[in-house]
Structure 1
């Protein structure tokens, strides 16, 4: 996402304050006071016609009288002057502006003015920016800020001030503290891209109330979270809260799904938010999920244990060596288990004696130290010895350690000492466990982000047939399809519905039932009554003609009585499915105002609530993501596993979900889908009742998705020198095994030319980063031989664009034994055409002078060749 102007916002060399004032209650006075107190080293340029100086700094009467063009300007005047000031700043060439206050009626004009002059705008209604490493406090905040490694981005001024106040008291510092305001221009995605590359930022905390552009947010979040942990606090879970905040009414579970999909972690409330700040400020990377607990009392340890198991955490198991070491150090009365209870009479010496073997041990991944106030082991003295022991231990700085010094009066100073030492500390055992589980859940989300999906077996798709049925329905003005009408569309994607017939009256229903055999089910068909249960419109296990006829007449009578104006389009007749031992599930697709189509999975029922009874995912789904959705539904009890003769087949259900996802991607006219009930018996699934809603699509249908799907339209068959055929296509996450095999057939010399270093082996994470790409940010094309039988990758080319989409770095690699067959040339032609079509202005790469094959290919393609003999590199550049 565009980074233009962000350097001037977050690392300005000069700042102008429009509306600077000597009156303490004025915004211009607060801004000047904060800038001066922050220690900003560059020129501060107050602008006011009312005074020759402001707070001892020479002032200027108007913007056009400034001696230099400021990098950053802060408009603190009455909002009536906003547009005039912005126009003048644009004419002066100012790069970035913060507006503290503006009514919504101005937003459109402010945005137009910014676009006209290429100004980047923070706000309006922004609290401002604090960057303590730059000595920058261009904010309206009353609280000073400390230096740290945590960046905070907030959509609420009130929450921003609260966090700053709390952080000052706890000694927590920040790299950047940015209050967005209404985000007319600069938004979260722009800042995430900047902070992901910032050396002073090691972790990011977001406070969200809404998302303006889901695709941009997810793209930036996913990219940033691969390098730095990002925690999210999202308010507005309920409809009432969303209304209060002025948000779009949407499903909160969609935010959960999006945050997990991007590899972030959502914390639930203010208490967790403060714990998250503490954790992120002092966090060491978590290498596993096994926790060991030490306490000088059983009760606090039990509280921690309860909290850990409530959140599905894991306890470490003591190994033989650690047990022996502890046995030597501790009295025989101490039971050597996890949690390790050192007893109420534990001295400081006993605490440290237990700590040393645990610091040596590899049996755990994290250590929680709990201390209750004790006359025998005073809080401060024990804390001081613990800090000293950890500092002196060779593994001290690498271990993940949490502390919980219980109490307030006697423990407050101990917690301050831990914070100063960079060791996370919490007031309660539950708070410490919450912090640990934040890290565990973040680690799980990151693992999910890079999990290699399996290739789904038996996936079929007759897209042309589905398109034909959908187009025919729309041309007939039929936007709501029932089970009978949707049957051919679903069957085109291997989704088997129960055979369904339409009867226009009770006599026809009897005739159909006699032909297909009893027992049968009878269902109302009416576009005006979507929920058949409202009129008892479903009758099951009808065993003879009399029952069918009576049931048909009864359904019609109930409709006429309760919904006299409803249209009755007949009755659906189905054979009764064998429900013995089967489980009823529900799969639904709904449109979300923010994230577009959502896929929901649960058990359903008449009173089904999407908010509480459905697990939610964002398409597109692959097998790994679909499996995660199923497991999430089971763990959260949205699907309750029952002791059926054939238990639910997770893999088969995942495959069905992938088919539903593919159907949505290929047929964007589908805006709603409800499969209910879905009868599941082992690996067999029958769709008993289905409804679908259609709508004509204007514009690019792919933009409705929050995550860009695989661009199948870029697939292309080519012929190599010698006549062999090959498929050029974008890379897929499922390509990881093929890519690993490909790299194994590239010589060490060619790999050295490509990566500028000797690489013995690529890890799973390396390969995941190469195959699981964001098609909005980068592109990689693979050349695949025998794509339909025994596919193998024989060449790869990729380009990664800069955030402003101006230039892109490219690379190309072909199998070492397949050179000279025009493969590299055709891969590069494919990449050049793609980047040109997507607005890239220049392709760049660096190679070695010894890589003559690459240099020769670049010359043939029209690249400029610049040999840097001193650095032993060759710069390749192509204007597109």
Structure 2
């Protein structure tokens, strides 16, 4: 879709309303009243089926009767007529349209949906851009444009808001007006048949009057376009997202551990992080984050100190920070000595820094000055509960000059009601967002931390790791052989051949059709061995008794095979036993069981997974996701987002593992995901990691005929 001509949508010099009548519920009439009440200064025309007059304006009989092409048309006609109206507007030369009409996804007379017919009628891509259908419209206060049937006007401001939900749009506008929140743009996308979030983000990124962009999303189309636009916008201003539909749909029918853990909402989280945006959980948090990030404080790091005149408030803040995964700063000896000299003997002597309830103005100033100078402190949460000792306004006036010169982030929390209103107003006017409770203050700090982590990910260009020697042709040949045979899953030996082609170490594995071949394989590999069933119907072999470990002799191996067949006849009678694999048992003390995976998400394409592996992989839910391609820095950050990743360097006497080998394996799986478009699901579980390196003990790979080249599948070009 073209990015051209959105200027005609957001700042038109002329507007035509198509579909106008005197009916009380007529959308066209509501739009006309909103345009007039909003003070639109451009030319305004009305169109209906018959010529006439409405509220003092001439009504033209059909689009062709207009004296000239309007820059923007608002279409409020019945759904079956919309394609014809759009075609007439395109022929006239109109550059943008807002289609309010609903029901365009129903089939038309020619079998196509009315929406498809509408897009075809708009002409070549970008000739006439369409917002909607099934939308409320849009409001651009500085252009005096209210091309919507929303119940009222929007206040002018520097926040842009775009939403897929029409009901949410009207409720949000009403709420924002009550709160005194203004907008640069207020956009209802509706069904998003043409203009989508990608288009809107590109337009708003370059808009000097927009300081922050807020999105309510339910789905993403054109993932690569969206990611490119989001990354571009997030480089210039905060982009904050709340998304409906958090249920992990992708897990409902997954056949692999990776598929079960990489649900669609978790994938969306990974996309948001990589694009440098911030995701929040609620609409209230959306505007809280906008208030915090619209005046971004100087960011140094995540070590927070809580400065308070009440011990209870400080404890609540510390608790909230710990529960959110934040970091309290550990005060250094020099800082503690300076605070001892400035504060009474009964101060808290730690973080939170409780300067006691009788604190006069100078005590606040002295404590702030010391903490702002402390190198071990990255930011300050300033808490004040009202007292009779000194008015809160006096404290604000004394401290604000220090805060304006601060080289680190400071958030203010004025607890109470009327007695702190003046202090809140002074702080807000100086660009310091104010929060009403310790928990809200901590939530704002964590939003800042998440946002800056994501901004660091944004700085990592989407480039594959360099100098990886892989044999793409050999791996592709194995996959192609399985596709030619009609197999959906590669057997374990074939899956390991693919991994070996990409330089990922695997334990030696041989195929066996019967007990004699299994014994020969075991003697070639060396005892003890593991025996595993091969069946296209069994992906989790251990769940049904299809794995036997630590087999030490030929007799034991034969007995194990007989017992395995007997178990499978009971636990998986539908499974066809195609044979067995035999592999050498590895005994590595101090090793960790990891999982590496790839899942083809229907929107964002291949997604990488790293986490704790083994048989309890889905029980512990210790995993993290990332979009490929990866480089070393991104691989390291992916590992660090898991609990097991933080133990790889060693803990409580347990030896560390070769982390470089873990990162290398991740880079190679990333390259594999980028190269081989036929691979839609991959599990390496467990990937055994120790001081010597890594080795894949088990692997499964799911394939399907490719429907696009590998690069087209990637959300990040």
Pick the TM interval, shorter chain.
0.7 to 0.9
Partner Cα distance (2:370, 2:390) in 1: 20
Partner Cα distance (1:134, 1:272) in 2: 28
Partner Cα distance (1:635, 1:535) in 2: 27
Change (3 A) 1:353 1:656: closer
1:595-646 deviation digits (Å, cap 9, x = unpaired): 1112212223446439944311112111111111111123788999765753
Residue aligned with 1:469, SS: helix
Partner Cα distance (2:542, 2:333) in 1: 62
Change (3 A) 1:288 1:530: closer
Residue aligned with 2:641, SS: helix
Q: Verify: 1:112 aligned to 2:120, yes or no.
A: yes
Residue 218 of structure 2: aligned partner: 209
Alignment partner of 1:224 out of 233, 243, 249: 233
Residue aligned with 1:660, SS: helix
Partner Cα distance (1:204, 1:337) in 2: 39
Note if contact 2:280-2:286 (Cα within 8 Å) is conserved in structure 1. Answer: yes
Note if contact 1:64-1:88 (Cα within 8 Å) is conserved in structure 2. Answer: yes
Residue 678 of structure 2: aligned partner: 669
Note if contact 2:612-2:644 (Cα within 8 Å) is conserved in structure 1. Answer: no
Change (3 A) 1:477 1:223: same
Alignment partner of 2:382 out of 351, 358, 369: 369
The aligned runs of 1:576-591 (5 Å cut-off) are 576-591=585-600
Partner Cα distance (2:611, 2:250) in 1: 25
1:89-138 deviation digits (Å, cap 9, x = unpaired): 22221111111122122211111112358210001112221222222222
Partner Cα distance (1:699, 1:275) in 2: 42
The aligned runs of 1:144-543 (5 Å cut-off) are 144-239=153-248, 250-316=263-329, 331=344, 333-335=346-348, 337-346=350-359, 351=364, 364-377=377-390, 382=392, 384-385=393-394, 388-389=397-398, 392=401, 395-396=404-405, 400-407=409-416, 415=424, 418-451=427-460, 459-543=468-552
Task: After superposing the two structures, state which structure 1 stretch, 590-599 or 290-299, moved more.
Answer: 290-299
The aligned runs of 1:415-814 (5 Å cut-off) are 415=424, 418-451=427-460, 459-606=468-615, 608-609=617-618, 612-634=621-643, 645-708=654-717
1:546-592 deviation digits (Å, cap 9, x = unpaired): 22111100111222334344321111111211143222112122211
Task: After superposing the two structures, state which structure 1 stretch, 23-32 or 118-127, moved more.
Answer: 23-32
Residue aligned with 2:381, SS: strand
Tell me by how many angstroms 1:6 deviates: 0.4
Residue 70 of structure 2: aligned partner: 70
Note if contact 1:589-1:600 (Cα within 8 Å) is conserved in structure 2. Answer: yes
Residue 95 of structure 2: aligned partner: 95
Q: CA RMSD in A?
A: 3.4
Tell me by how many angstroms 1:352 deviates: 5.7
Note if contact 1:587-1:674 (Cα within 8 Å) is conserved in structure 2. Answer: yes
1:354-376 deviation digits (Å, cap 9, x = unpaired): 55666787775433222224444
Note if contact 2:214-2:240 (Cα within 8 Å) is conserved in structure 1. Answer: yes
Change (3 A) 1:695 1:191: same
Residue aligned with 2:4, SS: coil
Count of residues paired in the alignment: 699
Q: Verify: 1:35 aligned to 2:28, yes or no.
A: no
Change (3 A) 1:255 1:365: same
Residue aligned with 1:226, SS: helix
Partner Cα distance (1:242, 1:100) in 2: 36
Note if contact 2:525-2:584 (Cα within 8 Å) is conserved in structure 1. Answer: yes
Partner Cα distance (2:373, 2:673) in 1: 53
Partner Cα distance (1:145, 1:611) in 2: 47
- TM-score normalised to structure 2 length: 0.88
Partner Cα distance (1:121, 1:628) in 2: 40
The aligned runs of 1:5-20 (5 Å cut-off) are 5-20=5-20
Partner Cα distance (1:656, 1:614) in 2: 16
Residue aligned with 1:2, SS: coil
Partner Cα distance (1:476, 1:700) in 2: 21
Task: After superposing the two structures, state which structure 1 stretch, 225-234 or 275-284, moved more.
Answer: 275-284
Note if contact 2:270-2:627 (Cα within 8 Å) is conserved in structure 1. Answer: yes
Partner Cα distance (1:591, 1:41) in 2: 50
Change (3 A) 1:101 1:325: farther
Note if contact 2:16-2:47 (Cα within 8 Å) is conserved in structure 1. Answer: yes
Task: After superposing the two structures, state which structure 1 stretch, 154-163 or 197-206, moved more.
Answer: 154-163
Tell me by how many angstroms 1:53 deviates: 5.4
Note if contact 1:35-1:137 (Cα within 8 Å) is conserved in structure 2. Answer: yes
Gaps of 5+ in 2: 107-113, 253-261
Tell me by how many angstroms 1:351 deviates: 4.5
Change (3 A) 1:371 1:668: same
1:370-428 deviation digits (Å, cap 9, x = unpaired): 222444455xxx2x445544665583597643222234566567656654554312222
Residue aligned with 2:73, SS: strand
